[in-house]
Amino acid sequence: MEYMWKKDGKSGGVSQALNEELDTFDTEFLEVSIEEVRSISTRYLEESGFNRDEAELTTRNLLEAELAEKRSHGIIRLPDLRKLIASGDIRTNTSGLSLVRDGGDALHFDAEYQSGSVALYRSLEVAFARMREQPDRNILVTGIKDMSYASGYIGDYARMAAEEGLLFLSFFNSPPILIPHGSRDPQWGTDPVTFSFPAQGSESSASMVHDSASSVITWGAMMNLKREGKELPPGVALDEEGNETRSPVEGMKGGLLSMGEHKGSGMALMVELMAGALTGSRVGTVVDGGWGGTYILIRPGVFLGDDEKVSAQGSELLTALNESRPRGGYDRVRYPGQQSQERRNSHLKNGSIRLPSILWSDIRNGLRANGQ
């Protein structure tokens, strides 16, 4: 089968497949146990065409997004994954990841159009193992070419690295939906840059994770607003004619604006080069291919030779930020990723998450009748 990403240098069939009008809007939420979500999601994906490993890895990422309350990257993506599996945009029934080149301090994988989150978890397993087995290795660069929808909630990969006691810096691109500063045409993905630092003890609750798209809001956030029947905030999207719009449907036809105007635009350009050109994946609208990604694992003591000292200094820096005086409208000052981690811990303690009621009903109704 020839996959959609190879055939279309723009957005493949994804924007068309996912930009459908809704007859009803989600305005109510319900509490669902984490284990029920895990079970239903895994089964839903298996019935959609994933094998068990693919379904479990994808569910893990969707669930981690929900735990952090990053709903734009969570369960809302299940129906879209089903559509893209059916259309052939995502290769299924994979059992591993092809290693194209092993340069010792650089690994290059070919995802061959398997789902991005599946490819990423598989690559991290290899990368973490190398760093554990080779304690004298201070830096490892990993590149992945030709992933399909979607690289997922990258904050989870960064958190995993912090728990390994490693710094994490990543660049991932996606089909063009971001409009560069001064332009009216979408040319790049929303292209996040993600960084994590393992503070003292390298426990996730004491580590910093910064995960930011290059756009003002993400594609997934726009999907959420559409599903909830809400308008976009001002200044985040243009329609097909290049006019600012507050309609999520029109924004999906046009594109998203970069955060901080030229600053976010420059960040997205950097990501296209680091994630796309560097790995041999798609590059904006000029080179066809799948989604690409590059991430770097670094030991805290790479220069000083003392991991604990560097991690302790990071912990002191985060503590100083927490202890700084909040300005009006803020109850406290948090470091990047702290609120997401607090939410994650709270949901894990309670054993449940909140999901849009219509969405969850649609997912359950999408299961085969036997054993539902």
Q: Determine the pLDDT at residue 233.
A: 97
125 Cβ partners below 8 Å, 6+ apart?
none
Angle between helices 78-87 and 34-48 (to 10 degrees): 10
| pLDDT at residue 32 is higher than 90 | yes
Return d(Cα 206, Cα 334) in angstroms, integer: 12
What element of type H or E holds 238? strand 237-238
Distance set, CA 372 to CA 34, 51, 85, 206 (Å): 17, 19, 21, 40
Q: Determine the pLDDT at residue 13.
A: 43
**List of domains in the chain:** 4-90+349-365 (1.10.1530.10), 98-307 (3.30.1370.60)
Instruction: Indicate the pLDDT class of residue 277, thresholds 50, 70 and 90.
Output: very high
Look up the pTM and report it: 0.92
How large is the average pLDDT for residues 26-48?
A: 95
How large is the average pLDDT for residues 54-82?
A: 97
Q: Determine the pLDDT at residue 200.
A: 72
133-160 tens-digit pLDDT: 999 999 999 999 999 999 999 999 999 9
Return d(Cα 92, Cα 13) in angstroms, integer: 17
Instruction: Indicate the pLDDT class of residue 368, thresholds 50, 70 and 90.
Output: confident
240-268 tens-digit pLDDT: 999 999 999 999 999 999 999 999 999 99
Instruction: Indicate the pLDDT class of residue 224, thresholds 50, 70 and 90.
Output: confident
Mean confidence (pLDDT) of the chain: 92
344-358 tens-digit pLDDT: 999 999 999 999 999
Q: Which sign does the torsion angle of CA 69, 202, 121, 8 carry?
A: positive
Pick the residue with more confidence: 218 or 4?
218
How large is the average pLDDT for residues 20-30?
A: 67
Q: Determine the pLDDT at residue 227.
A: 86
| pLDDT at residue 204 is higher than 50 | no
